[in-house]
């Protein structure tokens, strides 16, 4: 019993440290910040300013949700 607690703790810590790659990926469509930035860039290049305002607000909501 005494040795199982440290072993389980080490395994748990290792799993948490290795989960970073999984946690960096967007979980849903509403938290894909890199994609939202690319869409915003395209909209700016097309000079659709009303859409730029909308996409900026959406990006800000995504950022607040994640951070």
Q: Domain ranges in the chain? A: 4-66
Q: CA Rg, the chain, in Å?
A: 20
- Predicted structure pTM score: 0.61
Task: Kindly report, residue by residue over 27-51, the tens digit of the pLDDT.
Answer: 777 778 889 999 999 999 999 999 9
Answer whether 40's CB lies under 8 Å from 55's CB. Answer: yes
In the structure, what pLDDT confidence band is assigned to residue 59 with cuts at 50, 70 and 90? very high
Indicate if the pLDDT at residue 2 is higher than 90. Answer: no
- Coarse DSSP helix, strand, coil percentages of the chain, rounded to the nearest 5 percent: 80, 0, 20
pLDDT for position 58: 92
Q: Is 36 exposed, middle or buried (0-12, 13-18, 19+ CB in 10 A)?
A: buried
């Amino acid at each position: 019993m005494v040795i199982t607690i440290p072993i389980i703790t080490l395994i748990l810590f290792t799993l948490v440290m290795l989960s970073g790659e999984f946690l960096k990926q967007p979980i849903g469509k509403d938290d894909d910040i890199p994609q939202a930035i690319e869409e915003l860039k395209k909209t700016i290049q097309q000079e659709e300013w009303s859409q730029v305002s909308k996409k900026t607000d959406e990006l800000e909501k995504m950022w607040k949700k994640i951070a």
